[in-house]
Amino acid sequence: MQVFKFGGASVKNAAAVRNVAQIIKGFSGEKLVVIVSAMGKTTNALEEVVNAHYQKNTQQALDLLAAIKNNHISIVQELMTDANNAVYEQLNQTFRVVEDRLQQGATSNYGFEYDQIVSLGELLATQIVAAYLNTVDIASQWLDVRHLVHTDNTYREGQIQWKTTEKDIPTAIHAVWESGKIALTQGFLGGTPEGFTTTLGREGSDYTAAVFANILESQGMTVWKDVPGILNADPRLVENTVKIPVLSYYEAIEMTYYGAHVIHPKTIKPLQNKGIPLYVRSFVKPDEVGTVVQTELPANTQLPPVVVIKSNQLLVSVFSNDFSFMAEENLSDIYELFAAHRIKTNLTQNAAISFSACIDNTPMRIEALLEALEEDYTVYKNEGLTLITIRHYTPEALEQHTEGREILLSQKSRHTIQMVVR
């Protein structure tokens, strides 16, 4: 059996959904679990709904939601010849739940509101894809992943409760296979013991697929993307990128840790634990060989410089107020504050009386962090920065990506260099 994950770009419109069906048809007779993300930029659109809802602008939130609904209905109309297909009522019921929530007003818990609303995207996409597959004679069963992937109550970054998840996934999936169908469900989502929806972190559908692959001991997991495989850089930011045919789990997790958007950072561990290969292939050219991520690199493999560029970075510098050394107890306090505000450091460096950290500029969390730091320290910040990470760097790669830039902070090891630049 295999686990397939289709991201938002692969199901962004009716033509894309038809293409997904053709890919799945090519694996007729195999036991498949298909994980699907929200369509196109739906998650971004739903985040706008959340913000309007949280700011108590109910009508704006409802209007934004109506535009999302119209888009999804138009895709169904293009896909389905039967105007009475049950998917229409299914979609209406799914939208009704969110419409009712918007009219009730927001709670004070932004993360909770976010997960209950943004999760709509995956539910809609999978309902549409499952309905279309069944109209083209690909027998599929829609499953609600919130009843299978169990998490705690950490909204927006739900932590999987493995014991119950390991029990419920095989039971549900094997029942679908025994009926001769493929199983189709959502990525990104989970469910709490109280029945509320959680999300697993932005772009978390890859992680969902890896969880299913691990528990079901899949022969492989394939992520279908709009690129030919894993590239050595984002082609939107770097010219002349090249495909990497083979990566080790170690190299892949290093790339994702530094911010490469090829796969979700949590994806590798569940696969590595069971030795399950990860394939990254193109849904545009599904017959072509993509990239395989496996236990080890073949002997004598020479990897190209791997470049990860993260924009919208903030450099926070923390100084002791009394000119005392930045000792271990100070660093412990500072890291505890970062953890308490759920802010990941992308690069850190400490000197005699200061500590600096490069972080993603997420204002809602950062403002609270800075206030907490300022109770005991003097704090400075530099905004509008870029973090460049080059793994397997060469002199040519360094020159290419630093020319004309001011380097504010850098760290260098045998294989990797990171630079905060302006």
The DSSP annotation for 157-194 comes to: SPPB-HHHHHHHHHHHHHHHHHTT-EEEEESSEEE-TT
351 neighbors 326 (Cβ within 8 angstroms):
yes
Residue 248 CA to residue 298 CA, distance in Å, equals 9
Domain spans, the chain: 2-294, 306-421
Report which secondary-structure segment, H or E, holds 348.
Answer: strand 345-350
Give me the pLDDT at residue 283, please: 97
pLDDT at 201 over 90: no
pLDDT at 219 over 90: yes
Contacting residues for 215 by C-beta, under 8 A, at least 6 apart: 165, 166, 169, 170
Give me the pLDDT at residue 418, please: 98
Residue 393 burial (CB < 10 Å; 0-12/13-18/19+)? buried
pLDDT at 264 over 90: no
How does pLDDT run across 66-75, given as a tens digit for each residue?
999 999 999 9
Give me the pLDDT at residue 259, please: 87
Give me the pLDDT at residue 340, please: 94
The token duo for 311 is 């924009």
Helix (H, G, I), strand (E, B) or coil at 250: helix
Residue 176 CA to residue 139 CA, distance in Å, equals 10
Average pLDDT for the chain: 95
CATH class as words, domain 2-294 = alpha beta
How does pLDDT run across 139-192, given as a tens digit for each residue?
999 999 999 999 999 999 999 999 999 999 999 999 999 999 999 999 999 999
CA neighbor of 19 nearest in space, from 277, 176, 263, 225? 225
DSSP state of 341: T
Pairing label, strands 182-186, 140-142: parallel
Give me the pLDDT at residue 254, please: 92
CA Rg, the chain, in Å?
23
The reply to whether CATH 3.30.2130.10 applies to domain 306-421 is yes
Which band of pLDDT confidence, cut at 50, 70 and 90, is reported for residue 263?
confident
Give me the pLDDT at residue 241, please: 95
pTM of the model: 0.90
Q: Which whole number is the average pLDDT over 355-381?
A: 93
How does pLDDT run across 75-100, given as a tens digit for each residue?
999 999 899 999 999 999 999 999 99
